[in-house]
Structure 1
Amino acid sequence: MTVTTAVPAPEPALSVRQILALERVAAGEPEVVAGAGQLDRPVRWVHVAEAADVGVMLNGGEMVLTTGVLLAGDARIQTEYIRSLDRAEAAAVVLGLGRAFPAPPESMRRAAERCGMPMVVLHRPFPFAELTEEVQSRLVRRKFAAVSLSEAVRTALTGLITSGAPLQRLLDEIAGHSACPVVLTNLAHRVLATAGERSAVDDVLRDWERIARQAGGNEGDGWIRADIGGRGEQWGRLMLCGYRGDIETGRLLADRGAEALVLHRLLGGTVAAWEEQSAQSLLTDVLSGVVPARQLLPRARAAGLPVNRRTFVPLVVRDGDSGRLGRVLRLLGMPGLVAELADGFTAVLLSLARDQDADALAVHFAARLRTGGGSRPVVAAAAPRTAWEDVPAGLREALHVAEATADTPVDQDLPVLVRLRDVRLRGLVRLLRDDPHVQAFAERELDGLLCGGGDGDPDLLPVLRTYLATGRNKSLTAQLHHVSRPALYRRLEAIEARLGVDLDDFEQAASLHIALLAHDAQRR
């Protein structure tokens, strides 16, 4: 569970409309005479000025307060005054009616309407100092809150990075502050990781292709992005999806998050590692079956896996390097996901076109892995699936097959692509290894050689295992254990005496073989 320190978010930016609604301003009886459709403009500052050329003093976003004493009597100057404010990107102009202008000047009103500049007149005398004090204090408080939030988020994320927190923990922290789904993508808009409330994230991923296209060019409606990169290179994007606060605070959170991800990458994380974590998270959820497969389909599509009208081939590789698996997939042009599992197994999910020969391509992939230098991994496969809902069962079947080959050397009677039919009795025993009846059977059959569930004799149990695995071939067993035949005979006699069996009896030997398979499966 993510615990995020509560930091008050900055107040929303004040708009012209909100300022006009303040109690102090209402006392001046404000009236909007132009630009009524632009009242939601944000106000960065309030500026009192009487000079006709005030535009040169502005930086944009100001609400300008004036009595117009230097504008009276010249319609041309009044029009140019409004135009200069528009060029300076002022938020609005407020004119106090009085001696200079007892009524709203028509030339200023028309110019403001043409420019889309909100123009407000105050019908009652009003001290501008009260308005500036009220608005400036609110803006300063907001600025301070923004700085506090920025530092709090930066401190929290930096602390997580220095403590070695994984990528997902960083995204959870960002989502906790932004209170909306957070999505990390590469430059091709493939989703690498997400954070936030699961149902909200699923809603975003369900329509991800459209969202990615729209958000790639414009920000709006709470979709805020920050580019991730450094040293002249861009690696990806961080997106806040449906952020409900004001856009400036959202950009602040996105920027702090992007900075943290850059630092995380520089300290050891890589985009490739992020992609591996994304695939691992998805395939782990598929394997577990905790989340229904149909709910994982949007995540698979957003991760870049083709899912429409495809044939899925579930594979599990024993003793395979995930990096090499990914390289082989790219070399062969096969779309798929690769994820490391526990105990030296790696899951691979191929996504092939319906008109392709799935079995032949799976064999080709496995053969390519078996060639070249380094280790020769075992590739276990389930039957191809044409429905996404059948993929979890397929991955579990492939994992079962891979586990059933765990005690078998790669060069010993194993095809290039191992399937359920190839593991036979060994596969059945591993499937049932946790059954209490099977465990009791194994202990009962091997009781004379076991001590407290372990190997009671360091010599006899391995000899029995080899003898049965070689089809009771005494010459080969003696050779593999580097002993003479008479020495082997003495050990076999000792085994028969301890277990009370006749190893020449097929049924008794088969029973011991099954018990050994179950014993070995339980110990692994």
Structure 2
Amino acid sequence: MGEGRLTVRDVLALELVAPWGAEVVACPARLDRPVRWLHVAEAADVAVMLTGGEMVLTTGLLLADDERAQVAYVESMQRAGAAAVVLGLGRAFATTPEAMRRAASRCGLPMVVLHRPAPFARLTEEVHARLLHGRFAALDLSDRMGGSLSALNLSGVPLQRLLDEIAGYAGCPAVVVNLAHRVLASAGEPGALDDLLRDWERVSRQVARVLGNGPVTVGPDGWTVARLEARGRQWGHLVLFGHQGGADTGQVLGRRAAEALAVHRLLADPVRGWERGWEDQAAEALLADLASGTARPEQLLPRFRAAGLPVERRTFVPVVVRRVGGEGVLCASVRRALEEEAVAGLVARLEPDGAVAALLSIPSERDPDTEVDRLAARLQARLAPLGGPAVIGAGFGCQVLDEVRRSFLEAVHVADAALAGPPSGPVARLRDVRLRGLVRLLRDEPELQAFIGRELGPLLGRPELLDVLRTYLRTGRNKSLAAQEQHVSRPAMYRRLQSIETLLGIELDDLEQLTSLYVALLAHDAQRGP
């Protein structure tokens, strides 16, 4: 029995009705018709006062001994859209009138007889109280939900936070899909969500069967589907899987949630625009869960599949793209390169540094290195006219999702290291970043930080000498070339190198001391970031 919604079956199941000997004599299969109101009337022409959905209670005093009037009465009830006719036996009829029963069966109108005296007023009071309570509850839910979701939108929360709130009000999983039924976001109890997404293809077909013509459709088992629109164009649906509050609250939930989601979409990040904002957020949420390890691989697999990423007989390769300046075009450029090379993948920005990550899904019969090289070359060609090339770091190919997180972290590390020393080719891998990559990987270790202090201590307060040392090492210890890059004379360069040796107490011609100095400088620069 849903709050604010009663059916004929619900009314007959009330404890109040049990002593009255209710018997369904016509159309027992149609007891799930909704009851909007109860109406007690003895007039033969009561149908003119009905507007549909009423459960009409009568003793039939004006219908006794007139079968034609009995049939006409039932037919008028059917035309008025009554939910059911309840006839109290005893005053006009001792037993069920056959003419009325046959007419009700023919018209498809449930007919119930009460074999024992029934105070209609008590039933009317009980049912109306339940209906009114449910309607007030629905209004209260509408007010509370509308205020809460509006406040979240005004505070600029991401889609996931908004959908978590919607799922909390609904008490069931909530999923946002585009018109192709690709999952953009989901919220709710993890176990229930996993069950839905694991077999999403079948579930999405069931959702399609629930869809109605109105803005919100409440289907069987509490499945509620709300149409999502923005700027006059439909772009997706919100599906609530298993809301138990009944049709009235289901309608309220669907309407309020759809309104809030439309506002959220219109307030999307202006860099990405409302056309791509949610798709990007969906990818960001998936890749963030992958990188952080907060979701297990068996939980991610159905989410990737529901998001449209091919997962069967595939090799997964994480790729991270970095560029100093112009990060705003990276996402669109990576996505366009994927389309041009016909490579499936999820693309998202990595906050807060503006890098872009992509999880590539490559058919197992293709060589992943070749595919990544071709994609990287395409991307570099696209980015070159937009302000220079980017640094692209790739992880190793993974046959199973269990390995993808480690590969993803490797790609982040490689791109980070390669930004300080770009590789010769279009894409960097772990083998390309060598010592620089190792140092950057260990840059936050306390032992390495202590090593930096021991090796470079006196120079850390002399940035001009530190820069001289950096130039000297980068030019392969060529003093003439270093002097040119520093815009000083050779004698001035000799004096500055002599100052470095004196401050540090070393000889720059000693290979071991020089190597330690080089590693310490790499580590110091790594701590400063790209």
DSSP-derived class of the 1:371 partner? helix
Separation in 1 of the partners of 2:343 and 2:74? 63
Question: What displacement does 1:23 show?
Answer: 4.8
Does the CA-based 8 Å contact 1:27-1:124 persist in structure 2? Answer: yes
Does the CA-based 8 Å contact 1:48-1:65 persist in structure 2? Answer: yes
Give the equivalent residue in structure 2 for 1:514.
519
Give the equivalent residue in structure 2 for 1:387.
400
Equivalent position amino acid for 1:407 in 2:
A
Separation in 1 of the partners of 2:431 and 2:19? 87
Identity %: 58
Q: Does 1:374 align with 2:378?
A: no
Question: What displacement does 1:196 show?
Answer: 1.4
Separation in 2 of the partners of 1:124 and 1:344? 76
Equivalent position amino acid for 1:309 in 2:
R
Does the CA-based 8 Å contact 1:10-1:146 persist in structure 2? Answer: no
Give the equivalent residue in structure 2 for 1:192.
184
Give the equivalent residue in structure 2 for 1:4.
none
Give the equivalent residue in structure 1 for 2:153.
161
Alpha-carbon RMSD across the aligned residues, in angstroms, is: 2.1
TM-score scaled to structure 1, two decimals?
0.92
DSSP-derived class of the 1:221 partner? helix
DSSP-derived class of the 2:113 partner? strand
Question: What displacement does 1:483 show?
Answer: 1.2
Does the CA-based 8 Å contact 1:225-1:251 persist in structure 2? Answer: no
Equivalent residue for 2:356, pick from 346, 350, 355: 346
Equivalent position amino acid for 1:394 in 2:
S
Separation in 2 of the partners of 1:377 and 1:51? 84
DSSP-derived class of the 2:365 partner? coil
DSSP-derived class of the 1:406 partner? helix
Equivalent residue for 1:481, pick from 486, 505, 508: 486
- After TM superposition, the structure 1 stretch with the greater mean CA deviation from structure 2, 302-311 or 429-438, is 429-438
DSSP-derived class of the 2:6 partner? coil
Separation in 1 of the partners of 2:353 and 2:268? 24
Equivalent position amino acid for 1:195 in 2:
A
Give the equivalent residue in structure 2 for 1:211.
203
Q: Which runs of structure 2 are paired with 1:94-133 in the superposition (5 Å)?
A: 94-133=86-125
Q: Which runs of structure 2 are paired with 1:42-441 in the superposition (5 Å)?
A: 42-218=34-210, 219-268=219-268, 270-319=274-323, 320=327, 321-341=330-350, 342-372=352-382, 373-375=385-387, 376-408=389-421, 410=422, 413-441=423-451
Separation in 2 of the partners of 1:21 and 1:429? 74
Does the CA-based 8 Å contact 1:235-1:271 persist in structure 2? Answer: no
Q: Which runs of structure 2 are paired with 1:448-463 in the superposition (5 Å)?
A: 448-450=458-460, 456-463=461-468
Give the equivalent residue in structure 1 for 2:213.
none
DSSP-derived class of the 2:457 partner? coil
Equivalent residue for 1:445, pick from 455, 469, 487: 455
Question: What displacement does 1:10 show?
Answer: 7.4
Query: Per-residue CA shift, 1:74-128, capped at 9, x if unaligned?
Result: 3333234323333443221111223432221012112323444321122344343
Distance of aligned partners of 1:202 and 1:24 in 2 relative to their CA distance in 1, 3 Å threshold: closer
Question: What displacement does 1:406 show?
Answer: 2.8
Equivalent position amino acid for 2:347 in 1:
V
Separation in 1 of the partners of 2:117 and 2:399? 77
DSSP-derived class of the 1:438 partner? helix
DSSP-derived class of the 2:487 partner? coil
Separation in 2 of the partners of 1:50 and 1:352? 75
Does the CA-based 8 Å contact 1:228-1:262 persist in structure 2? Answer: yes
Query: Per-residue CA shift, 1:133-152, capped at 9, x if unaligned?
Result: 22222211211111111111
Separation in 1 of the partners of 2:131 and 2:399? 59
Separation in 2 of the partners of 1:36 and 1:215? 28
Distance of aligned partners of 1:443 and 1:17 in 2 relative to their CA distance in 1, 3 Å threshold: same
Separation in 2 of the partners of 1:511 and 1:476? 22
Separation in 1 of the partners of 2:162 and 2:336? 28
Equivalent position amino acid for 1:161 in 2:
N
DSSP-derived class of the 2:458 partner? coil
Larger helix proportion, structure 1 or 2?
2
Separation in 1 of the partners of 2:47 and 2:104? 14
Does the CA-based 8 Å contact 1:313-1:381 persist in structure 2? Answer: yes
Does the CA-based 8 Å contact 1:318-1:346 persist in structure 2? Answer: yes
Separation in 1 of the partners of 2:452 and 2:477? 20
Separation in 1 of the partners of 2:55 and 2:149? 37
Equivalent position amino acid for 1:418 in 2:
A
**Count of aligned positions:** 508
Structure 2 unmatched ranges of 5 or more: 211-218
Separation in 2 of the partners of 1:111 and 1:231? 51
Separation in 2 of the partners of 1:357 and 1:330? 18
Does the CA-based 8 Å contact 1:34-1:112 persist in structure 2? Answer: yes
Separation in 2 of the partners of 1:209 and 1:87? 42
Does the CA-based 8 Å contact 2:4-2:132 persist in structure 1? Answer: no
Give the equivalent residue in structure 2 for 1:5.
none
Q: Does 1:523 align with 2:515?
A: no
Query: Per-residue CA shift, 1:217-247, capped at 9, x if unaligned?
Result: 2132222110110443101111101222213
Separation in 2 of the partners of 1:10 and 1:78? 34
Separation in 2 of the partners of 1:111 and 1:358? 73
Distance of aligned partners of 1:346 and 1:117 in 2 relative to their CA distance in 1, 3 Å threshold: same
Give the equivalent residue in structure 1 for 2:216.
none
Separation in 2 of the partners of 1:300 and 1:35? 48
DSSP-derived class of the 1:63 partner? strand
Question: What displacement does 1:253 show?
Answer: 0.5
Question: What displacement does 1:36 show?
Answer: 2.8
Does the CA-based 8 Å contact 2:2-2:244 persist in structure 1? Answer: no
DSSP-derived class of the 1:405 partner? helix
Equivalent position amino acid for 2:28 in 1:
A
Query: Per-residue CA shift, 1:396-443, capped at 9, x if unaligned?
Result: 1111111112323x5xx5310111111111011112222322222221
Separation in 2 of the partners of 1:229 and 1:517? 53
